[in-house]
């Protein structure tokens, strides 16, 4: 029997964000508040003592309603957010793939963003040039190469991000891959199908994988184990069908 190697060990991890709020108790109070009061902060606990492990070759799904802490957990593991409490241990390099456009510079063109993200992912300018045409063709955004990204729709941003990252990762081996709401990647059915094919190829490399998705069919198809999150806590863990059924029946 092949030995299971622990690739990620999350112990009692918590994360709190301070959200700005304005206090208002009537028209006059609003006037004086805007002139003299500083913005008040409200603490929002996004992760609350989360603990779990991920092993080599395992495919783990994270499900739950919006605001349950799924993407925050993934970004904390990826090092985008710093956790306030607890410990995260990782064995190997972590690759984070997001459908939210993280890393894009809105005031730069699509062309410049491709080179920027490619460089961040460790490619040389020469390597990015070789992949450039394939990235553009795959994204189906050929007519927008020199358009600034702030003019893109959310679907176009998802397609651009996915196309750049997936081509930068091709033909390389990976230890840990984190997919953050990339299934469905902002296109029509044809685009979604070819995006899923690309991701299947990555998943089959033997990397340890965590998938955050609202697409429960994707979670059931690709994952070996599923965590259900609510209010920043793991409320159920187990086989995909069992956890998904519990989630659907109690939503």
CA 207 – CA 59 distance, rounded (Å): 8
Tell me, what's the pLDDT at 44? 86
- Which of 107-111, 132-136, 182-186, 214-218 is predicted with the least confidence, judged by mean pLDDT? 182-186
Q: Is 98's pLDDT higher than 90?
A: no
Q: Is 152's pLDDT higher than 50?
A: yes
User: Binning pLDDT at 50, 70 and 90, where does residue 21 land?
Assistant: low
CA 198 – CA 251 distance, rounded (Å): 31
- CB contact at 8 A, 75 and 96: yes
CA 143 – CA 131 distance, rounded (Å): 17
Burial of residue 102 (number of CB atoms within 10 Å: 0-12, 13-18, 19+): middle
- Phi/psi of residue 173, nearest 5 degrees: -90, 150
- CB contact at 8 A, 174 and 205: yes
Tell me, what's the pLDDT at 145? 97
Over the stretch 22-79, which tens digit does the pLDDT of each residue have? 555 556 555 555 555 555 678 889 999 999 999 999 999 999 999 999 999 999 999 9
User: Binning pLDDT at 50, 70 and 90, where does residue 216 land?
Assistant: very high
Tell me, what's the pLDDT at 97? 84
User: Binning pLDDT at 50, 70 and 90, where does residue 178 land?
Assistant: very high
- CB contact at 8 A, 166 and 202: yes
Q: Is 93's pLDDT higher than 50?
A: yes
CA 225 – CA 242 distance, rounded (Å): 10
Q: Which residue has the tokens 């609350």?
A: 48
Tell me, what's the pLDDT at 202? 81
The CATH number of 55-249 is: 3.40.50.300
3 state SS of 119: helix
Tell me, what's the pLDDT at 150? 94
Q: Is 181's pLDDT higher than 80?
A: yes
Burial of residue 160 (number of CB atoms within 10 Å: 0-12, 13-18, 19+): buried
CA 15 – CA 46 distance, rounded (Å): 6
Tell me, what's the pLDDT at 50? 97
Over the stretch 194-209, which tens digit does the pLDDT of each residue have? 888 888 888 887 889 9
Tell me, what's the pLDDT at 1? 44
Which of the pair, 41 or 212, is modelled with greater confidence?
A: 212
Q: Is 2's pLDDT higher than 60?
A: no
CA 179 – CA 244 distance, rounded (Å): 18
Residues β-bridged to residue 178: 96, 210
Both structure tokens of 146: 């020199």
Over the stretch 160-176, which tens digit does the pLDDT of each residue have? 988 898 898 887 778 99
Indicate the DSSP class of residue 53: E
Q: Mean pLDDT, the chain, as a whole number?
A: 87
3 state SS of 24: coil
User: Binning pLDDT at 50, 70 and 90, where does residue 116 land?
Assistant: very high
Indicate the DSSP class of residue 92: S
CA 22 – CA 89 distance, rounded (Å): 38
């Amino acid at each position: 029997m092949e030995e299971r190697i622990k690739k990620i060990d999350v112990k009692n991890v918590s994360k709190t964000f301070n959200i700005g709020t304005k206090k208002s108790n009537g028209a006059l109070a609003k006037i004086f508040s805007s002139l003299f009061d500083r913005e008040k902060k409200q603490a929002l606990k996004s992760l609350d003592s989360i603990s779990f492990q991920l092993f080599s070759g395992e495919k783990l799904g994270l499900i739950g309603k919006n605001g349950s802490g799924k993407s925050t957990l993934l970004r904390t593991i990826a090092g985008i957010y710093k956790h306030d409490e607890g410990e995260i241990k990782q064995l190997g390099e972590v690759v984070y793939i997001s459908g939210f456009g993280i890393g894009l510079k809105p005031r730069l063109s699509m062309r410049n963003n491709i080179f920027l993200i490619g460089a961040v992912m460790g490619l040389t300018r020469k390597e990015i040039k070789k992949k450039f045409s394939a990235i553009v063709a795959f994204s189906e955004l050929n007519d927008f190469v020199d358009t600034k990204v702030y003019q893109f729709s959310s679907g176009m941003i998802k397609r651009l991000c996915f196309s750049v990252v997936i081509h930068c990762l091709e033909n390389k081996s990976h230890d840990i891959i984190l997919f953050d709401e990339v299934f469905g990647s902002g296109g029509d059915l044809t685009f979604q199908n070819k995006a899923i094919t690309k991701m299947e190829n990555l998943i089959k490399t033997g990397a340890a994988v965590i998938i955050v998705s609202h697409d429960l069919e994707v979670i059931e198809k690709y994952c070996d184990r599923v965590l259900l999150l609510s209010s920043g806590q793991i409320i159920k863990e187990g086989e995909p069908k069992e956890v998904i059924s519990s989630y659907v029946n109690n939503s």
